[in-house]
Amino acid sequence: MRWLINLKIPTFTFEIFQTIQLTSSFMDNHPELKNSIITDFAEAYSNFGLNPLMGRIIALLIISKDPQSLDDITEKLEMSKGPISQICRRLKERNLIESVWVPGDRKDYYKASEDIFGQAFQNQKAKMSRNIQIAKKYADIAKDMNGEDEQYAYKRMREMQSFYELMDEHNEQFLKAWKSKLAELRN
């Protein structure tokens, strides 16, 4: 079963895919579909200005029921271990993937975070929230300056601040709605 939620937020479109009960045998039994999913995620990440390898790793972990070692990921994506290890660290720092301990094995294993889509959205929201701070900083500097150019800059910084504050409010509403929807999907 596949769910597609197409969310349009000012200047951003997020397509959130939830794939339910896809196992390792799914990947073995449907290599063309697996490759298509991985390719599409790589392209989606690239469209957001991110490394396509991030998208490939995320896709692989989303469709893998069992945790994957670095060796597994390297083999399945047919890439060298160095870049995969580096990207896995970055994805882990962003809370998109988690390290998993596998009893009796000393290798590093990874799985997609439980709410990977909500976490990705929160990461994006945090980036946009920084724009509020930038706008406030320069609006505060420009507001006390005299001159037509300075007042114009102040006005534009206030517009920027208002835009991102409004976006932040809508993002908060969306996150609440998403958590409710996720709970519904998992019941």
Phi, psi of 100, rounded to the nearest 5 degrees: -130, 135
Residue 97 shares a structural domain with residue 19: yes
DSSP states of 114-179:
TTHHHHHHHHHHHHHHHHHHHHHHHHHHHHT--SHHHHHHHHHHHHHHHHHHHHHHHHHHHHHHHH
pLDDT of residue 143: 86
Q: How far apart are CA 160 and CA 162, in angstroms?
A: 5
**Please, which residues bridge with residue 13 across strands?**
8
Mean pLDDT computed over 168-183:
96
Residue 131 shares a structural domain with residue 56: no
Return the CATH number at 82.
1.10.10.10
| 86 has a pLDDT exceeding 60 | yes
User: Which pLDDT tens digit goes with each residue over 140-158?
Assistant: 998 888 889 889 999 999 9
User: Which pLDDT tens digit goes with each residue over 102-147?
Assistant: 888 889 899 999 999 999 999 999 988 999 999 999 999 988 888 8
Q: pTM here?
A: 0.77
Residue 180 shares a structural domain with residue 134: yes
Question: By residue range, what is the domain housing residue 83?
Answer: 2-112
